[in-house]
């Protein structure tokens, strides 16, 4: 398995598959709302829908992870269940409660771009709160460029400049912030536990909490049609497959070489929402495209390893210096030889 998931072409294809799956969630969730007659104002049903999806996603993640590992995946240390609970709060409950409600009050295309702000939040949280890495100039520039893209997407379409609904775009940004916290926490917790196991069990725990909350607040719905059932299963398998594959890629490859592909998620989300939902974001389509490019460029800029580039540059200078020194020595030796001949 290691040989398969370390070949560059396989890594690229697998990572792109994960991003395509995550990007497809934006339009499919909105389709699910239509199939299940979930109104944009019905918060309890939205939470219940999310809970069912992620409880099933957790089950499928553990199942697929166990198949890949050739053994049943469990949380090895009892004390790590506390970490599972913390992740369930940030990565599942908070992230997806905000996400599902927010998505009901804005477009899938805009949501896919706003959701990508999680990359910038993760950088800031990691650098300024948890002190896991340095806040370099390229990360600051990347965050600024990405933020410009996020602002730009809000002035598209015949909407007014700065068009913003707190329970729509605002909730999507809060969802991204929750995911950013969970990403930093996963980075810490996975040092003592399998990331696949952490994802699977926190999905199940978080999903169960959301199901309970949805039922308490009066949420009820019946899956009476095959398409509606298909949407629920697809969304569950989507998360299970994407997180399982992503976890395996991170296990056998450098984090940076895998995470750089994450900028493709909003690209897929934007494209699929536009095609499937036929969302006409704007009469100024070019403005939307520029916003998307800025967000993607910002993410790439954040992932740029300046120190590594400097190191390579210093090595090149060192090699060039040695080559120049060698040439001078040869010239000097030639001159000395000529003098001796005289």
> How far apart are the C-alpha atoms of 4 and 9, rounded to whole Å?
10
Rounded Cα gap, residues 127 and 14, in angstroms: 29
Lowest mean pLDDT among 176-190, 196-210, 237-251, 315-329: 315-329
User: pLDDT tens digits, residue range 275-311?
Assistant: 887 765 555 667 777 877 887 787 777 666 655 545 5
Q: Which residue has the higher pLDDT, 139 or 11?
A: 11
Q: Is residue 201's pLDDT more than 90? A: yes
Q: What pLDDT is attached to residue 316?
A: 53
Higher-pLDDT residue of 282, 95: 95
What's the CA gap between 301 and 141, in Å, rounded?
7
Whether residue 244 is found in the same domain as residue 177 = yes
Please state the rounded mean pLDDT for residues 20-49.
84
What is the overall mean pLDDT for the chain?
Answer: 78
The answer on 330 and 194 residing in a single domain is no
* Domain identity same for 234 and 158: yes
- Are 91 and 186 in contact by the 8 Å Cβ rule? The answer is yes
3 assigned to some structural domain:
no
Report yes or no: 146 and 120 within 8 Å, Cβ to Cβ: yes
- Helices (H) and strands (E) counted in the chain, each on its own, are 14, 0
Measured between alpha carbons, how far is 18 from 245 in angstroms, rounded to an integer? 7
Looking at the domain assignment, is residue 2 inside a domain? no
1 located within any domain: no
pTM as predicted: 0.72
Provide the domain limits for residue 221. 8-304
What pLDDT, on a 0 to 100 scale, did the predictor assign at position 237? 93
Task: Evaluate if residue 226 carries a pLDDT over 50.
Answer: yes
17 and 161 fall within a common domain:
yes
Higher pLDDT, 40 or 21: 21
Question: Residue 160: pLDDT above 60?
Answer: no
339 and 204 assigned to the same domain: no
294 and 325 fall within a common domain: no
Contact 73, 243 (CB under 8 A): no
pLDDT beyond 50 at 342: no
Return the closest-CA partner of residue 258 out of 303, 294, 325, 221.
303
Domain presence at residue 157? yes
- Inside any domain, residue 138: yes
Q: How far apart are CA 121 and CA 147, in angstroms?
A: 11
Dist. CA 217–CA 211, nearest whole Å: 10
The answer to whether residues 77 and 186 belong to one domain is yes
Which pLDDT value is given to residue 33?
Answer: 82
Instruction: Judge whether 244 and 68 are in contact, CB under 8 Å.
Output: yes
The reply to whether 322 and 273 lie within a common domain is: no
Separation of CA 169 from chain center = 18
Domain total of the chain: 2
* Helix locations, 217-305, DSSP H: 226-252, 255-259, 264-276, 285-303
| Shared-domain flag, residues 184 and 332 | no
Q: Do 240 and 311 belong to one domain?
A: no
Place of tokens 């369930």: 88
Identify the weakest region by mean pLDDT among 67-76, 216-225, 322-331. Answer: 322-331
Res 212 pLDDT > 60: yes
Report the distance separating Cα 68 and Cα 185, nearest Å. 24
Q: Does residue 215 register a pLDDT over 80?
A: yes
């Amino acid at each position: 398995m290691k040989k398969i998931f370390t070949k560059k072409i396989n890594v690229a294809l697998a990572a792109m598959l994960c991003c395509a799956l995550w990007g497809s969630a934006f339009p499919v969730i909105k389709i699910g709302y239509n199939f299940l007659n979930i109104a944009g104002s019905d918060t309890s049903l939205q939470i219940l829908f999310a809970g069912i999806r992620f409880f099933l996603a957790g089950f499928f993640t553990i199942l697929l992870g166990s198949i890949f590992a050739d053994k049943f995946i469990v949380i090895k240390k009892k004390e790590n269940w506390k970490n599972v609970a913390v992740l369930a709060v940030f990565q599942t409950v908070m992230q997806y409660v905000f996400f599902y409600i927010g998505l009901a009050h804005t477009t899938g295309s805009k949501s896919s771009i706003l959701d990508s702000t999680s990359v910038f939040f993760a950088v800031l949280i990691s650098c300024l709160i948890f002190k896991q890495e340095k806040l370099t100039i390229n990360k600051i520039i990347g965050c600024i460029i990405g933020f410009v893209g996020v602002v730009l997407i809000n002035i598209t379409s015949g909407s007014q400049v700065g068009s913003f609904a707190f329970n729509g775009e605002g909730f999507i940004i809060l969802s991204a912030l929750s995911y950013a916290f969970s990403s930093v926490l996963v980075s810490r917790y996975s040092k003592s536990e399998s990331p696949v196991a952490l994802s699977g069990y926190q999905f199940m725990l978080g999903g169960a909490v959301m199901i309970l909350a949805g039922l308490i607040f009066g949420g009820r719905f019946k899956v009476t049609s095959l398409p509606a059932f298909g949407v629920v299963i697809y969304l569950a398998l989507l998360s299970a497959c994407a997180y399982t594959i992503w976890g395996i890629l991170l296990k056998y490859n450098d984090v940076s070489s895998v995470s750089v592909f994450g900028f493709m998620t909003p690209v897929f989300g934007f494209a699929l929402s536009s095609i499937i939902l036929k969302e006409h974001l704007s009469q100024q389509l070019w403005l939307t495209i520029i916003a998307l490019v800025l967000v993607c460029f910002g993410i790439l800029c954040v992932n740029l390893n300046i120190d590594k580039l400097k190191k390579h540059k210093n090595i090149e200078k060192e090699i060039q210096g040695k080559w120049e020194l060698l040439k001078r020595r040869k010239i000097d030796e030639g001159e000395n030889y000529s003098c001796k001949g005289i």
